[in-house]
Amino acid sequence: MEKIILKDVIKYYGDRKILDIKELKIYSGEKIGVVGINGSGKSTFLNIIFGKTDIDIGKVIVNGNMSYIEQLKSNDTYLSGGEVVKKQIEENLNNKYDIVLADEPSSNLDIEEKEKLKNKLKEYKGTLILISHDRNLLDEVVDSILEVENGSVTKYKGNYSKYKKEKEQKEKRKEFEYIKYLEEKNRLEVSINKVKNEAKTMKKTPKRMGNSEARLHKRGVENKREKVEKSSKSLETRLGKLEEKEKPNEKYNIFMKMPEILKLKAKFVVSSDNLNIKIGNKELLNNVKFNIKTNSKTALIGKNGSRKNHINNKYIRRKFKYKYKP
Ligand SMILES: Nc1ncnc2c1ncn2[C@@H]1O[C@H](COP(=O)(O)OP(=O)(O)OP(=O)(O)O)[C@@H](O)[C@H]1O
Ligand SMILES: [Mg+2]
């Protein structure tokens, strides 16, 4: 049974066409992974299905009751980022709903919670549309991939790894065809130029020639010119008929200019030997001790809600000025 149908849907933000979907049907029990680069329109796609965002043209039909685990849902509680997602998952991912939309539900989750989410998604019996950048999650949960790219949406059967392989082959083929096209175009253009130059340099009949000799020469030149013009025309026709190939998307290398690393003399860049933090009656950190060596790279890990953010506290001794963006 068709659970979701999109027909001739167009969505603009300003003058940028975000989505242009001719027809898309999603059937009962399908588990679909949505992929695409940042800003390609994945969340917009789910917002449209959920009815949270209006479309400019087209029709969206949904048969069934639907829930939505949103990306970066605003948090005006004391809950941690991971706890907000956990709460959303508990409320929305259950068999009360026969369609579940989920936008990056694994972001912010700790390792254990990620595993739980994966199992819940696998066990879920309804129709699932899942946006994720987590290949492992997609590979284990979904049975097809929807790719959002340059406003269009393309469906690939199979999990993420299969999609990736198919996509790479498609791109290689596109690149090969484009190079072949450029080579042929260049070859024809060079030949046309050559023939045209040949026509230009054809000798005029020298003045000192006798009449009959001049006539013969002239006829010879004309025959030749005719031939040259014919071959130039046929080359131009071939060039005109040459099927134009689309230029493949360019792959950019990203260069980042890193600021000079501060030359700190201190052995430890941050340290604390007895850090205690309370919010109201709640003890967040108790007698925390740590040293972070200058120019080291440290990962801060911990379960959701384990107070990782509070390690950034004004009572910690620091040897430098810094910016912190929570
Ligand atoms: N309400 C809005 N008004 C104007 N532009 C918007 C609005 N919402 C999204 N956009 C723009 O539309 C584009 C698609 O946004 P969208 O959030 O759908 O991307 P996404 O594929 O979900 O990206 P990400 O992977 O970063 O979550 C972006 O360029 C975004 O800036
Ligand atoms: Mg998004």
Q: Determine which residue's CA is closest to atom 17 belonging to ligand 1.
A: 43
Ligand nearest to the CA of 52: 1
Protein residue with least CA distance to atom 24, ligand 1: 38
Whether residues 63 and 104 share a domain: the answer is yes
The answer to the question of residue 132 being in a domain is yes
- The reply to whether 258 falls in a domain is no
- Close Cβ partners of 230 (under 8 Å, ≥ 6 residues apart): none
Same domain, 97 and 77: yes
> Mean per-residue pLDDT for 17-35?
97
Does 133 share its domain with 226?
no
The phi-psi region of residue 37 (left if phi > 0; otherwise alpha if psi is between -120 and 50; otherwise beta) is: beta
Residue identifier of the C-alpha nearest atom 10 of ligand 1: 13
User: Order of strands across the sheet with 282-293?
Assistant: 282-293, 268-279, 317-318
Residue 123 domain-assigned (yes or no): yes
Range of 177's domain? 169-241
- Report the pLDDT averaged over residues 49-74: 92
Are residues 132 and 43 part of one domain? yes
- Select from 114, 138, 158 the last residue of a domain: 158
**Beta strand 99-103 with 282-293: parallel, antiparallel or unpaired?**
unpaired
| Residue at 22 is within a domain | yes
CATH number of 103's domain: 3.40.50.300
- Predicted confidence at residue 35, as pLDDT, reads 97
Based on the domain organization, do 71 and 115 belong to the same domain?
A: yes
Please check whether residues 59 and 135 belong to one and the same domain. yes
CA of 69 to the centre of ligand 2 (A): 12
CA distances from 221 to 152, 157, 200 (A): 57, 64, 11
Q: Do the domain assignments include residue 9?
A: yes
State residue 218's pLDDT score.
80
In a domain, 71, yes or no: yes
Cβ–ligand 1 distance for 41 under 6 Å, the answer yes
Question: pLDDT value at position 226?
Answer: 85
What local confidence, expressed as pLDDT, does residue 256 receive?
72
Give residue 282's pLDDT: 79
Burial class, 90, CB count within 10 angstroms (exposed 0-12 / middle 13-18 / buried 19+): exposed
58 lies in some domain = yes
74 alpha carbon – ligand 1 mean position (Å): 16
Q: Looking at the CA of residue 53, tell me the nearest atom of ligand 1.
A: 1
What does the pLDDT look like over 71-94, one tens digit per residue? 876 666 778 888 888 998 999 998
List the residue whose alpha carbon is closest to atom 7 of ligand 1: 13
Q: Which residues surround ligand 2, an ion (CB under 5 A)?
A: 43, 71
Query: What is the whole-number distance in angstroms between the Cα of residue 84 and the centre of ligand 1?
Result: 21
pLDDT exceeds cutoff 70 at 159: yes
Say if residue 142 is in the same domain as residue 12.
yes
* 223 and 99 part of one domain: no
Answer yes or no: do 148 and 26 share one domain.
Answer: yes
Percentage of the chain with pLDDT > 70?
89
Three-state DSSP class for residue 46: helix
Do 149 and 180 belong together in one domain?
no
119 shares its domain with 77: yes
**Quick one: pLDDT band at residue 251, thresholds 50, 70, 90?**
low
Q: Is 260 within a domain? A: no
Q: Are 207 and 148 in a shared domain? A: no
* Final residue belonging to a domain, choices 123, 158, 193: 158
pLDDT, tens digit (0-9, with 9 covering 90-100), for 257-310: 766 665 677 888 888 888 887 777 878 788 888 888 888 888 888 888 877 776
Helix axes 81-92, 111-123, angle to 10 degrees: 20
Q: What is the pLDDT of residues 180-238, one digit of tens each?
A: 999 999 999 998 888 888 877 776 666 777 788 888 878 888 888 888 888 888 888 98
pLDDT in the model for residue 252: 64
Number of structural domains found in the chain:
3
Tell me the one-letter amino acid at 313: N
CB atoms within 10 A of CB 70: 20
Using the mean position of ligand 1's atoms as its centre, give its distance from the Cα of residue 23 in Å: 21
Please report the pLDDT score of residue 25 as a whole number: 97
> Which residue's CA is the closest to the ligand 1 atom numbered 30?
39
**Per-residue confidence band for 140, with pLDDT thresholds at 50, 70 and 90:** very high
pLDDT at residue 72, rounded to an integer = 73
Domain boundary among 158, 191, 209: 158
